[in-house]
Structure 1
Amino acid sequence: MLDNLSPLRKPNKLTEIITDKIREMIEEGVLKPGDKLPTEKELCEGFGVGRSSVREALQGLEYMGLIESRPGVGRFLSSDSDVLLNSENWRLTLDQASVFELMEARRILEVSAVELAAQRATDEVIANLENILDVMREVMDSDMDLFFEKELELHLALAAACENSVLTELINSLIRKVSKHSERFLRTLPYTFERTVDQFDAIIKALKEGDPVLAREKMDEHLDLVRYALGKEKGHEE
């Protein structure tokens, strides 16, 4: 295993280089789920770097769940590290995608999720959605930051209401990526706040009525506003 280690050049982000090298060893099968990792000393000697950089890299991998520490025994590759690496690759894909690709994927998934939510949402779930919307309505003329915080919370709650954990997780990732791009220009549109509240109100009413077709239609209308804001951002950057 140690034969796969080689001295590294020392750039500014040395810890990230070490992390990537260990992940590369995992992906190439040099390290397999359940394997014990070399000691910090062995890694330092193999990479030709200081212990603090190695320790920081290992702590980061442990935080991501790729490795686990067993007191008095050492560090081991997590048994589900292959699944976690796939999750990391998904996040990398999101980082590299254009904002319009993200929005296109989000739209497909989110309108489908709200359609399911109209069939599955309980009274308790709907009450929670209404409470979030009430806060948005109360602060739309006074607290822009809280408004968008609650707007994000409402999107995430609607995604969860579909009761499909896979779909919910995908939507959550996409929403968080797109929101930071669209919010800047949504803030500048004079009709954003009132229209957003009205659109969410219509979506929630469709859920209460158990009408998946209407819920899908109303979510699609709302996402038109988000897409418009993204178009404004693209024009601004150009």
Structure 2
Amino acid sequence: MNKVAPVKSYIKIMDDIRHLILEGGLSAGDRLLSERELAAELKVSRTVIREALKSLEMLGIIEVKAGGTFIKEPELNGMYHTLSYTMALDNVTIFELLETRKIIEVQAIKLATVRRTSTDLVIISEILEEMKQALNENDLNKSVDADHKFHSYLVKSSQNKVLSIMMDATSDLFREALSITREKLGQYSGMDKAIYVQHYSIYKAVRDQDVDYAEKIMAEHLDTLDNELKMIVQGRDLEPPETEELDITEF
């Protein structure tokens, strides 16, 4: 009969220290107990405590500096860059990415519609103006940048940090998908205008706090992007917009 290998003492102590941090209500910048105090509290040697603290420091949970050991401010940028790098190494497909983005964005927009602030609306409307300017200048890169910013800020407006981290982690790959579709769509007159109107309609639903319509139109918008990418991969012609004479001055 195989025996289960015991967990190393310092690994268990790492979890114990994390529990102490959470239960003690400690925040970034707060000082942790000393090695001696932790050893007495957790009933282990100071050597084990030292190993556990070293591992926690490597994970970015604590930092040792003059005056003791302190809780470290979470490095969200590092977290989402790690996720993004992992997805790239695992050969995540663009379609898996879009499925994930749909889960994130459709849920996020429901929250954003309820939680958005007046400042959020101003920023989103400014991004729409950037999108309109890029359209008038026929600037593909500016258009993709504005599109990307629009989606990212909508998720940020949900006031949910986890959704924002997940969104940022997929950022680079999603921008690549946007660039591919926009370049192909550029051959159709009026397509960029139709895309702008889609984004304006999403903004309007959030502004008016119409949760059901915001959810519906975001899902349709991302489904359209997914279908367009599939048609590109299959070498099929994309469907042109319903009208080529779309006037965006009223939006």
TM normalised by structure 1 equals: 0.62
Map residues 68-79 of structure 1 onto 2, 5 A cutoff: none
> How far apart in 2 are the matches of 1:139 and 1:132?
11
> How far apart in 1 are the matches of 2:232 and 2:62?
40
Unaligned runs of 5+ in 1: 1-30, 37-61, 72-77
Aligned amino acid, residue 35 of structure 1: K
RMSD: 3.6
Larger Rg: 2
Contact 2:144 2:175 in 1 (8 A): no
Distance 1:228 1:182, change over 3 A: farther
Is 1:151 the counterpart of 2:147? The answer is yes
> How far apart in 2 are the matches of 1:148 and 1:201?
15
% of aligned pairs identical? 23
SS across alignment from 1:163: coil
Distance 1:35 1:218, change over 3 A: same
Is 1:105 the counterpart of 2:100? The answer is yes
Unaligned runs of 5+ in 2: 1-49, 236-251
SS across alignment from 1:140: helix
Give the aligned partner of residue 128 of structure 1: 123
Count of matched residue pairs: 176
Distance 1:134 1:88, change over 3 A: closer
> How far apart in 2 are the matches of 1:34 and 1:200?
48
> How far apart in 1 are the matches of 2:207 and 2:197?
15
Map residues 57-96 of structure 1 onto 2, 5 A cutoff: 90-95=83-88, 96=90
Shift of residue 230, structure 1, vs aligned partner = 2.2
Contact 1:129 1:158 in 2 (8 A): yes
Contact 2:60 2:72 in 1 (8 A): no
Give the aligned partner of residue 8 of structure 2: none
Give the aligned partner of residue 215 of structure 2: 216
Aligned amino acid, residue 177 of structure 1: L
Shift of residue 32, structure 1, vs aligned partner = 5.1
> How far apart in 1 are the matches of 2:194 and 2:81?
36
> How far apart in 2 are the matches of 1:223 and 1:232?
14
Distance 1:135 1:89, change over 3 A: closer
Shift of residue 219, structure 1, vs aligned partner = 0.9
Shift of residue 235, structure 1, vs aligned partner = 2.5
TM normalised by structure 2 equals: 0.59
> How far apart in 1 are the matches of 2:83 and 2:214?
29
Structure that is richer in helix per residue: 1
Is 1:114 the counterpart of 2:109? The answer is yes
Aligned amino acid, residue 206 of structure 1: A
Q: Deviations over 1:95-141 (max 9, x none)?
A: 22221111101101101101111111111111110111012112213
Distance 1:32 1:184, change over 3 A: farther
1:35 counterpart (39, 45, 54): 54
